[in-house]
A and B are shown apart, each in its own frame.
Chain A
């Protein structure tokens, strides 16, 4: 098994809720957590792209994670939050039901995903962390946020 340093190593994650499950992303990719602000719809994009917002002068696309994961769509409410994540090439806001926590989890608690994890496509998941009694689904943001190339081919 892992040695001592490995077992004590921890990572900080932001925990958020979608439906009845808790998900986590590393705190290092999270730029900020915003309350809902007005979103401008962008036509002809996949339905999970809610549009773009003005994030302090930067036009930032917004992805509804529920739709991205094919979950039941829920109207936005007061607890809804936008988690702004910054990947190498771009920043994207993720709409989540609520942002719950920032916690440290031991790296060793992260296990590969079980064969069946609900309805979410397994490629989006990088692992599952069990902390106390909570089960956190670690997201593979690179996969979740594959750039949207030309969506429709109306060029003809």
Chain B
């Protein structure tokens, strides 16, 4: 079978499932008793197995299969979760990832997994003699056979009958399983979900009554019925379903002699609330899964890949459209044709929505980078014999795709560094009166035109004397310079190339190549890295990244004929002041703004425009800030607030003073964006 056309989908989905495995395994490690998590992992592994077998990647299928067996044993409480077992499962997931990567890179996805398979087998058999053979068959879920029950009569359409008929021929049974929930059952949908889950492992659900939608909305009384095709015995199915709490009764009947399609009156079918169309059953076997996944918060996003250049083109074309829209609006305004006006209004709304979508398309949550860290930290902590808790805050912070692609490696370096050099060993920590477990916090947030990513640890901090001594030894700084350095500058020496503070070089970090690479990568992205460290209390590495291409909110202002944009993030407020309220301090004009003295910056003066605004009685001032300091920018008038796309001025105009970029306004004009940071000294 030619599977090439599905390859990309396979890769995307595999990665999603592997990521899901990773996340859930980490969770499982924290709550080893929570079998629901095992189920999640199991499901991901199971899907992965099915997909890879279909695609012909036998090694992946093999490995997932073994992993599945172990998970199943855990799930059935035959073995209990231990770090050792998880280590091996993690290792298996790692290998799977490697194989998937290999396939992506054009390889065959083959890898010697024998060792792991043996290890998995050992776990599986060592602690639980028999892994139920039925599990295996269930895993390779296949079509099955029908039966009949009397209570809620079922009408089968041709498709269902065919499925049931065929599976019977193959020696499967078809059951009508009627499940009665207890009257006082509170979470009916949840119980239904659990029943579905169990049955799906034993076979294939052909249809349900009431329909899945109704079941999910708890739109039924106590009883619901599932038609299942399975090769398991009715009694074992019954026992399994009865394990779900709040299930009162389970009735299982064989679907009898493939009820003749002839006997089926169309009227009956219509009357039947669920058999809405002949095609529906096909969907229903799929839909329930999807639906229930959606209820799981951890559902990974479905994605397609789009070349970022295409997005750029799309965006530029769209902006052209916006310009034409603006023209159309003004034409419509002149013509006073109600129909035209209405159409233009509609178009305006639709294109507004479209704009938002396009703008957001390039932004992805930083989570896509962060989500690989928990596992890495776990592994490193074990390698280093340290106890470390990684906290991630602000994973939903969105960053431009291009930046996301670049920051992964620098962050890995920083985290490795924090774990290796920052956090002390448990014994040391206890001796210092700190909790045994070190905490590393990874934080991302937007501020101004920047995204900040901070890595904070409560470890040993940077030993300034030692850093300085090392820096001198290695010729990173000279004695004279060293004498003038501030504490912060000394800390930041560790970012200089050829510097390594660890006395013992480990393979985790500490070859002295990591941190200066981090620094140069971040700087090449137009960002900065700063270090704030208190010896004995920990360090804070702060990475500041620009939102290269991003949407920002700005205040548009008039300066003479030109329009300038001031980022809203820098603005505290706008004010109109009387010219007579302007005071003179030396050569600097200042105003008294809410009790503090704020220097005034005449933007027209800075931008070398002429214009005698002094004559006017009132002046429009935008109060902006940079950190703690404030300034008042004097402008001609305010236009309003708007979301704009930040565009660079290009490589020809490099660093124009006090201009951080440009944007294209709705009318097609270019407006420059004022860089408030440059205006406040």
Contact = CB atoms under 8 A, between A and B. Distances in A.
B650 A91 contact: yes
B562 A41 contact: yes
B669 interface: yes
A53 B662 CA distance: 10
Contact of A52 (B607, B668, B670): B670
Interface in A78-105: 89-92
A58 B653 CA distance: 14
A24 B276 CA distance: 73
A147 B606 contact: no
Interface string A5-43: 000000000000000000000000000000000101111
A40 B663 CA distance: 11
A91 B649 CA distance: 10
Contacts of B315: 57
A152 B657 contact: yes
B652 interface: yes
A41 B323 CA distance: 20
Contact of A40 (B320, B650, B670): B670
A81 to B, nearest CB: 19
B116 to A, nearest CB: 49
Given A54-B664, A59-B670, A147-B652, A43 B647 contact: no
A154 B648 contact: no
A148 B657 contact: no
Interface in B287-335: 315-320, 323
A45 B656 contact: yes
A113 interface: no
Contact of A42 (B319, B320, B656, B668): B656
A34 to B, nearest CB: 13
Contacts of B26: none
Given A40-B562, A57-B317, A59-B664, A150 B657 contact: yes
Contacts of B316: 56-58
B659 interface: yes
Interface string B620-662: 0000000000000000000000000001111111111111001
Nearest to B665: A54
Contacts of B608: 43-44
B651 A147 contact: yes
Given A61-B649, A91-B650, A149-B654, A56 B320 contact: yes
B671 interface: yes
Given A41-B562, A43-B609, A44-B608, A61 B672 contact: no
Contacts of A149: 654-655
B657 A61 contact: no
27 contacts: A38-B669, A40-B670, A40-B671, A41-B562, A43-B607, A43-B608, A43-B656, A44-B657, A44-B659, A45-B656, A49-B653, A57-B316, A58-B316, A58-B647, A59-B662, A89-B652, A90-B652, A92-B650, A145-B652, A147-B652, A148-B653, A148-B656, A149-B654, A150-B657, A151-B656, A151-B657, A154-B658
Interface of A: 38, 40-45, 49, 51-54, 56-61, 89-92, 145, 147-152, 154
